Amino acid sequence: GAGVSQSPRYKVAKRGQDVALRCDPISGHVSLFWYQQALGQGPEFLTYFQNEAQLDKSGLPSDRFFAERPEGSVSTLKIQRTQQEDSAVYLCASSLTTGTYGYTFGSGTRLTVV
Amino acid sequence: AQSVTQLGSHVSVSEGALVLLRCNYSSSVPPYLFWYVQYPNQGLQLLLKYTTGATLVKGINGFEAEFKKSETSFHLTKPSAHMSDAAEYFCAVLNMGGSTLGRLYFGRGTQLTVWP
């Protein structure tokens, strides 16, 4: 597609519920990143894929967070047993290759845990 | 390790006035630096970037930034603010080596308000 597409745009989850956030990167983009942006903060790195390989997941805040990109294109970020502190905007970004300057970001998914 | 400090979480200017948003970085290697803009309920849009070469870089919407190595700064400027510039602005540094290759480190953002 022309840009990075994320769905849903908004998600309200009850505490303890599992959620899945989808990212559809630009076609052909090798690198894919997930970032978490808490209210009033800058985005913070969660995880990074190169094709289907998850090369860095050091930013995932707990083992409740899981990400996958099984065919090297669409990626899903899953959060199990959501907590209130998980409320944030989750941004996905892709680039042609790692280090290609200026990743293209999606519009994000705003997750609210109540 | 890389880090970014944006001085001033809120900046207000009158329409037509100079915009100056400050960014200082810390990097153990020559930095690649970026400014992004975020409008409400939207993702991040790249304004401009510095990689190598000319230290004064021009971006979209009339913005420019100057890389000053001696001051570890990458301040964003625009000579004349427009109402449509009201948004949140993020400075970021890209890690180009090691185990965190390709990771962007963002500042906390500066909210720009433009008064008519």
Minimal Cβ distance to B96: which of A99, A106, A107: A99
Could you give the CA distance from residue B49 to residue B29 in angstroms, rounded to a whole number?
Answer: 16
Nearest of A5, A20, A9 to residue A104 by alpha carbon: A5
- What would the pLDDT profile of A25-75 be if each residue is shown by its tens digit? 999 999 999 999 999 899 999 999 999 999 999 999 999 999 999 999 999
Chosen for mutation from A29, A34, A37, A95 (greatest number of chain B CBs closer than 10 Å) is A37
CB of B78 within 8 A of CB of B11? Answer: no
- B49 close contact with A: CB closer than 8 A: yes
Q: Do the Cβ atoms of A42 and B4 come within 8 Å?
A: yes
Per-residue pLDDT of chain B (116 residues; tens, 9 = 90+): 788 999 999 999 999 999 999 999 988 777 899 999 999 888 899 999 998 888 899 999 999 999 999 999 999 999 999 999 999 999 999 887 777 778 899 999 999 999 99
SS3 of residue A97 by DSSP = coil
Asked if B93 and A102 touch (Cβ cutoff 8 Å), the reply is: no
Do residue B42 and residue A31 have CB atoms under 8 angstroms apart? no
